[in-house]
Amino acid sequence: MKQNKKPNSQRFTIGMKKKLVVLFTLVLLAFVGLGVRLILITKNNGEEYEKQVLSQQKYDSTALPFRRGEILDSNGTILAYSEKVYNVILDAKLLLRDEKFLEPTLKALVTEFKLDGSSIRSYLADHPTSQYYVLAKKLSYDEIKHFQDMITPGEKDYDSNIQGIWFESSYIRKYPNGSLASDIIGFTSGDNAGMYGLEEYYNDTLSGTMGREYGYLDEDSNLERTTIPATDGDSIVTTIDGNLQSIVEKHLQEFNDQYANNVRQANGANNVGCIMMDIHTGDILAMASYPGYDLNNPRDPSRLIGMPAVDEKGNKLKGDSIFDSGVYITEEMLESFSDEQLYQNYNALWKNFCIADTYEPGSVAKPFTVAMGLECGAITGNEVYNCKGNLEVGGWKIKCHNVYGDGAVSVQRGIEISCNVAMMHIAQAIGISTFTKFQKDFGFGLKTNIDLAGEARTEGLTYSPSNMTPTDLATNSFGQGFNVDMIEMITSFSSLINGGYYFEPHIVKRIVSSSGATVKNVEPRILRQTISPSTSEKIIEYCNTVVTGPGGTGKTARPAGYMIGGKTGTAQTLPRGNRQYVVSFMGYAPASDPDIAIYVVVDRCNYVMQDDAKFATRIVRAVLTEALPYLNYPMTEELSDKEKAELEELRAQMVTSQTAPGEEAAAEGESTESSEEASEEASDAPVAEEKPSIWESFEVDKATGYYIDPNTGGLIDPDSGYAFGGDELPDFSGDSASQSDSAAGSG
């Protein structure tokens, strides 16, 4: 009997079945494991992975820019704000998906944005799959509005054939007042980061948080969007009064207009700076230096012309001799600059001279020496010193500015006439240890921590008890041998005249959210007490005589209708004997009860004789003549006919001119008149009868109106007896900490 047997290939054995069951089980377990894993991923990391996927979709994940906070002055005037702008983006792939879209879209682009149609055609031909190409940048809303209507369904001008164009939004920084307060504000880089000034110091405050819009397809393949809005930055309200700032900058500009290209083809001075401060709070009311720059165009090369040039490392280029103030930028030089050298010169333009440059203060330091002596009990204020024109200390004959000697000089008169010898005697009574301690108390050698980017470090530019010699002590007493910057000096001086309270200087008084709510109030901060109120009263009394006294060196600083106090300074730069000077005046008003301080520094004026504090005092006078009435201080002094005419010009908003020392003598009657007449012209205050000074028997230099010393050939200021030229002060600094570009003389 035959049996029908299936071929071996068709047999499905039990073993095979078992293997199939095992394989099926393994596959099933794999799917179960994968499912469990997906559930866990979705539960624990689903949102993270979703964002990663969405972020890779170029047009379905869009960054939303934040608006940078505003910067306002104390009156609420906007100094800086951000304006929304738009880039025109071309999606070539979307546009080319149908030929009927091409011509209408190109026509609209050329008509609305004045773009080159042929260039767009070439790009489309070369990049047909591109989905992101910028056709135009930083257009305002008004410039894109009509095109936006043309691509928006439902709008009157909508055209469905215009495809492949969309707008990318961002913000640009705008400064409505151009160069106003450029040193204070700073600017932003292309990526919206702050550079210099408040923009840099408060960058984190002014910056917000980027938002994002996510796009995704739902179950029905419809595009859905999730938006995380951007958070705008906070705004800052400053202590700066825009009107005072304008007054200061106007007169710095006038100074430059008057002295530019005088002795050298350059600006009116290497630097000119001015700070106004509320001495009872540390509020900075105005701060400016010349030259400034346009905040909307900080890289304008024309602003560099006339400045001292620097090399690729930022070091100032030196002239051919020690009598040169430097090498100055010309239009021709700009063309030869490398990119790095051009950038370094821009840095020199952008930095704030008022906080970034150090120099020796000169005789502005003398009130500090007297305050030290009174406070520690080394002097009573009743002392009288004999000035013979110099004092020998440590084997050096250190001169007074009046090389003929001032005779008997009281402590008060030592400030009034700026006598070096009196200061050296006071410093000897104080002693090295106490003197250096007080310098630290006054903040010399320390940063003030003002809320601005770029403040200089002056640590190491003052002496310690271990490295100060008796000669160093003597020269420090009248402002030579140690370095300061402007903000350090005015902050310290304010403590001398406000009862002894050292306030931390600041620019910002309030931080405000984008909704207008106050986030933070910046309150005045007293760091320490430098001197007692009684000593402060004495310093005010002494400094008032600098302006009111018959021999006062600061009479030309008195503004029309007001009495002020203060101190002049003349600093001789390094190397000694180069006849290059920094002059200054530190003033305050009102004289009887000070509220505000003003400090002006003129660094190497573009004039034959730089060592004349009148370069600074006349800026102070011009600024305060406008500022004090604006601040509602009542006039205390009778006006001369000349001052009345001056104020009438101001009221008519006409520009008033300043006269240089030794120039336009007939106009002001200072250079050709006697010293008593010159003082009266400048201050309109009665001048006491004095016995003739020795220099009044000398010949008068017709070009300047100064007396000529027959022994040295130097010139003598008829007002103060200050000796210009002739024998220079020796360099007493030796290996001292003072390594600045400047060093002080006297006066």
> Buried b / exposed e across 645-682, counting CB within 10 Å, b at 16+?
ebbeeeeeeeeeebbbbbbebeebbbbebebbebbbbb
Beta-sheet strands, E only, within 536-632 = 565-572, 581-589, 596-605
Specify the pLDDT at position 630: 95
Specify the pLDDT at position 154: 86
Lowest mean pLDDT among 96-100, 324-328, 627-631: 324-328
Specify the pLDDT at position 730: 43
Lowest mean pLDDT among 21-30, 449-458, 530-539: 21-30
What angle (nearest 5°) sits at the alpha carbon of residue 205, between those of residues 203 and 208? 90
Block residue for tokens 């994002």:
212
How much of the chain exceeds pLDDT 90, in percent?
63
pLDDT of residue 405 exceeding 50? yes
Lowest mean pLDDT among 29-33, 667-671, 697-701: 667-671
Specify the pLDDT at position 711: 63
Mean pLDDT of 717-734: 47
Per-residue confidence band for 360, with pLDDT thresholds at 50, 70 and 90 = very high
Specify the pLDDT at position 693: 62
Mean pLDDT of 191-199: 94
114-138 pLDDT, tens digit per residue, is 999 899 999 999 999 998 999 999 9
602: three-class secondary structure by DSSP: strand
Mean pLDDT of 457-468: 89
pLDDT of residue 1 exceeding 60? no
Specify the pLDDT at position 326: 82
Of 168 and 186, the one with more pLDDT: 186
pLDDT of residue 5 exceeding 80? no
Q: Which domains does the chain have, with CATH numbers?
A: 62-238 (3.90.1310.10), 355-724 (3.40.710.10)
What angle (nearest 5°) sits at the alpha carbon of residue 606, between those of residues 605 and 612? 40
Query: Do residues 183 and 201 lie in contact, with contact meaning Cβ atoms separated by under 8 Å?
Result: no
706: three-class secondary structure by DSSP: coil
pLDDT of residue 721 exceeding 70? no
pLDDT of residue 573 exceeding 80? yes
Highest-pLDDT range among 51-55, 322-326, 350-354: 350-354
The pTM score is 0.81
pLDDT of residue 681 exceeding 50? no
Beta-sheet strands, E only, within 493-650 = 501-503, 508-512, 518-521, 526-529, 565-572, 581-589, 596-605
209-251 pLDDT, tens digit per residue, is 988 877 665 555 555 678 888 899 999 999 999 999 999 999 9
Does the bond joining 629 to the residue before it have cis omega, within 30 degrees of 0? no
How much of the chain exceeds pLDDT 70, in percent?
82
Mean pLDDT of the chain: 85
- DSSP 8-state code for residue 77: -
Specify the pLDDT at position 57: 43
